[in-house]
Amino acid sequence: MRSRPGGAGMTRGPLPEDTFKEAAKIAARRGTLKWFHRADGDSSHFAIFGLNFVSLVGIRRARRLRAGPEEISREFHDTIARLKAAVLTRHVVRELWLCSYHGSWRFFQIVGSGLAELDREGRPVAGPCIAPS
């Protein structure tokens, strides 16, 4: 696995290296990981290639990890909009992964104009699912 690319274009500064290492561990359980070399305005950090899907993943640090989907959509509107710009096909999904300052995670799939919460394995969940590191 290649080391993570630089964090250019992030409004709160680059994410810590440990965040990317943990994200790589989570992603590796779901498929093959491919890091992207980020450019200004690019929100995807990596792609996960599974048997029947490709997930384009953007990672952000969240101050309020327990916020509801509406608040998360507002706070990360720009990131979500850039991920939505990626071509969507039957096999391509777009995901927003949020990490707290304490290492807990939440995962969302961008669906239409909203967010659907996922567990660590990428499966839909009915309610909030905060995953400790």
- Give tens-digit pLDDT for 95-115: 999 999 888 999 999 998 899
Would the pLDDT of 4 be above 70?
Answer: no
Q: Output 36-44 pairs: Cβ under 8 A, ≥24 positions apart.
A: 36/5, 37/5, 38/5, 38/6, 38/7, 38/8, 38/9, 39/8, 39/9, 40/8, 40/9, 41/9, 41/82, 42/9, 42/82, 43/78, 43/79, 43/80, 43/82, 43/83, 44/82, 44/83, 44/86
- Give tens-digit pLDDT for 17-76: 888 899 999 999 999 999 987 665 555 689 999 999 999 999 999 988 999 989 999 999
Higher-confidence residue of 31 and 90: namely 31
- Give tens-digit pLDDT for 6-23: 433 334 567 778 888 999
pLDDT for 133: 59
Fold of 17-118: Trna Endonuclease; Chain: A, domain 1 (3.40.1350)
pTM, rounded to two decimals: 0.82
pLDDT for 96: 96
Q: Where are the domains of the chain?
A: 17-118
What mean pLDDT do residues 80-108 have? 91
Q: How many residues does the chain have?
A: 133
Higher-confidence residue of 5 and 22: namely 22
